[in-house]
């Protein structure tokens, strides 16, 4: 074989060998079973929790503040118990249909010191009822924290001791208003018309059935 022929064959052999090597170095397509699905891409949060990649980039959403229900037994304006007893400070108090001066006056209370029960509060207004269960909204300035009661029994004995057999200091007519003092389980100390003594709470309006006063 001539030298020129050998050179040509050598060049052809190198070209073929190089082509095969190049073919073997090309990246092969990954089998479908080994591919990572897009949905499997995850991110790790600062706390170490694994979260979806989209959620890792999302803005944190603040949790809504818990709603604390208002206690219906506590006045929203004063934080005092509802219902509770007070007394009328003046000898004339307008009772309105709603908690403002624009509401009509339904009637007028005309007995100073008469006991009233507050059942609701709104701003400077208090919804009250009297011994008959009638009432409405009055301005808080017309009310006093001094406690009084109405005698619910005609000729109620005012006793010297909290004992049904104790001597009588006076007799109170039905509807008399008396100032309320100490209250025990069944008896309350009253002051009315210059007289003092004990009377059974069951014969009084203006004090709770289980109220204890020192």
Please give the pLDDT value at position 47: 43
Interatomic CA distance for residues 136 and 26, integer angstroms: 94
- The pTM of the full predicted model, rounded to 2 decimals, is 0.68
As a whole number, the mean pLDDT across the chain is 81
**Measured in whole angstroms, how far is the alpha carbon of residue 19 from the centre of its chain?**
83
**Measured in whole angstroms, how far is the alpha carbon of residue 159 from the centre of its chain?**
45
Sheet of strand 156-159: strand arrangement: 168-172, 156-159, 195-200, 187-192, 177-183, 148-151, 204-205
Please give the pLDDT value at position 210: 93
**Measured in whole angstroms, how far is the alpha carbon of residue 126 from the centre of its chain?**
19
pLDDT reading at 40 higher than 70:
no
Q: Give CATH for domain 149-205.
A: 2.30.30.40
**Measured in whole angstroms, how far is the alpha carbon of residue 208 from the centre of its chain?**
25
Sheet of strand 84-88: strand arrangement: 105-109, 93-96, 135-139, 125-129, 115-122, 84-88, 143-144
Contacts of 23 (CB under 8 A, 6+ apart): none
pLDDT band at 163, cuts 50/70/90? very high
Q: Give CATH for domain 84-146.
A: 2.30.30.40
pLDDT reading at 58 higher than 60:
no
Please, where in the chain does CATH 2.30.30.40 lie? 84-146, 149-205
Interatomic CA distance for residues 130 and 107, integer angstroms: 12
Segments in the chain forming alpha helices (H): 3-25, 53-57
CB 145 within 8 A of CB 118: no
pLDDT digits (tens, 9 = 90+) for 65-110: 666 677 889 999 999 999 999 999 999 999 999 999 999 999 999 9
Interatomic CA distance for residues 193 and 119, integer angstroms: 30
């Amino acid at each position: 074989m001539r030298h020129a022929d050998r050179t040509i064959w050598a060049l052809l052999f190198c070209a073929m060998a190089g082509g095969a090597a190049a073919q073997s170095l090309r990246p092969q397509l990954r089998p479908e079973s080994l591919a990572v699905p897009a949905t499997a891409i995850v991110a790790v949060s600062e706390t170490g929790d694994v979260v979806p990649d989209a959620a890792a980039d999302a803005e944190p959403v603040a949790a809504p503040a818990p709603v604390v229900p208002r206690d219906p037994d506590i006045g929203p304006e004063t934080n005092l118990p509802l219902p509770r007893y007070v007394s009328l400070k003046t000898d004339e108090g307008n009772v309105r249909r709603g908690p403002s001066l624009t509401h009509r006056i339904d009637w007028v209370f005309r007995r100073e010191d008469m006991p009233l029960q507050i059942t609701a509060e709104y701003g400077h207004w208090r919804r009250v009822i009297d011994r008959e269960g009638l009432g409405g909204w009055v301005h808080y300035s017309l009310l006093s924290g001094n406690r009084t009661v109405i005698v619910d029994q005609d000729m109620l004995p005012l006793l010297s001791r909290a004992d049904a057999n104790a001597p009588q200091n006076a007799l109170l007519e039905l509807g008399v208003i008396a100032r309320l003092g100490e209250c025990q389980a069944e008896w309350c100390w009253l002051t009315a018309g210059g007289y003092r003594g004990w009377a059974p709470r069951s014969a009084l309006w203006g004090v709770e059935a289980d109220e204890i006063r020192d």
